[in-house]
Amino acid sequence: MPSNEQRRQAAKRKLERQLERRAEQAKRQRMITIGTTIAVVVVLVAGVFYFTRSGGEQQPPAAQPPQPQVQIPTEPAPPPVRPVALPDPTSCTYRPDKQAAKPVQPPANGEVSSKGTVQATIETNSGAIPLTLDRSLAPCTVNSFINLAKQGYYTDTSCHRIGTEGLQMLQCGDPSGTGSGGPGYAFDDETFPELSYGRGYLAMANSGPNTNGSQFFMVFGEAPLSPDYTVFGTISEDGLKVIDDIARAGHDGAFEPSPGGGKPLKDVRFTNVTVNA
């Protein structure tokens, strides 16, 4: 039979073993808790990083604002014809004006023919635009355009404005690219009251009566204008296709609301202008 002392020692050892097991269990529980906490912190940090970088949700790529679809007539307007022919020859005067945007000599004053047509081609980075210049419509204007083209005035210049609604035209001829530059001379309008504008017309831009210089516009669609802008030729169907593509690309709205339109989003630069005259 075990003595009382032996029973006390056995009970003591049992208690010590129980305390050791409890301590070991507590240690394991602490390790599990610490590991779980670390895992949660890692997940939270990763989540904060993701949401900070992404703005709270996954963002799609930014879309460019859509350009309105351009409605363009398909048929060229009938070629313009003067109701009364001009005298042949016709007298032309080219007056000194503000400083030229690019050095160039004005045409000589004097008489020029009002008969026949001249073929010209505007070579651009977007394609060729063939033109027919008509002396019977505007002999002084045709004479000036030929003079500027032969001196390279239009070479390496850009078209600074396009209108795609209301007035549908591409305006070019200013080496400064601002819409205010000219050749350093001006000449009179060659208009007539019956004049109207349509797809395929080549006309002079101006800043008022008798202020023609180097800027011109090419009508590719509607053009509800008063007869105050000299028409001096027409644009071929191939040339109109080039302008149509430029128009469909849209513009930046830089000239809204007046005079309207903006800089073409598809850059248009003249690489050469040739005339067969």
Whether 160 and 25 share a structural domain: no
Task: State the total domains in the chain.
Answer: 2
Q: What is the pLDDT of residues 21-53, one digit of tens each?
A: 655 665 666 665 555 555 544 444 444 444 334
**Is 80 a member of any domain?**
no
pLDDT at residue 142 tops 60: yes
123/217 same-domain check:
yes
Whether residue 103 is found in the same domain as residue 149: yes
Record the pTM: 0.76
Question: Do residues 97 and 218 both lie within one domain?
Answer: yes
Classify residue 68: in a domain, yes or no.
no
Instruction: Specify whether 16 is located in the same domain as 101.
Output: no
Task: Kindly tell me if the per-residue pLDDT of 192 is higher than 60.
Answer: yes
Query: What is the spatial distance between Cα 92 and Cα 111, in angstroms, rounded to a whole number?
Result: 6
Spatial separation of the C-alpha atoms in residues 109 and 95, rounded to whole Å: 9
Closest CA to 185 of 228, 152, 140, 150: 140
- Reference 119, options 130, 135, 104; nearest CA is 130
Give the per-residue pLDDT at 157: 96
Within a domain: 73 = no
- Domain boundaries, position 221: 90-275
Looking at the structure, tell me whether residues 128 and 2 fall in a common domain: no
- Mean pLDDT, to the nearest integer, of 92-99? 96
pLDDT mean over 93-108: 96
* CATH code of the domain in which 192 resides: 2.40.100.10
Residues 30 and 114 in one domain: no
Q: Is the pLDDT of residue 19 over 80?
A: no
| 136 has pLDDT over 90 | yes
Distance of CA 152 to the CA centre of its chain: 25
Bin 152: left if φ > 0, else alpha if -120 < ψ < 50, else beta.
left
Q: 214 and 173 share a domain?
A: yes
Same domain, 213 and 132: yes
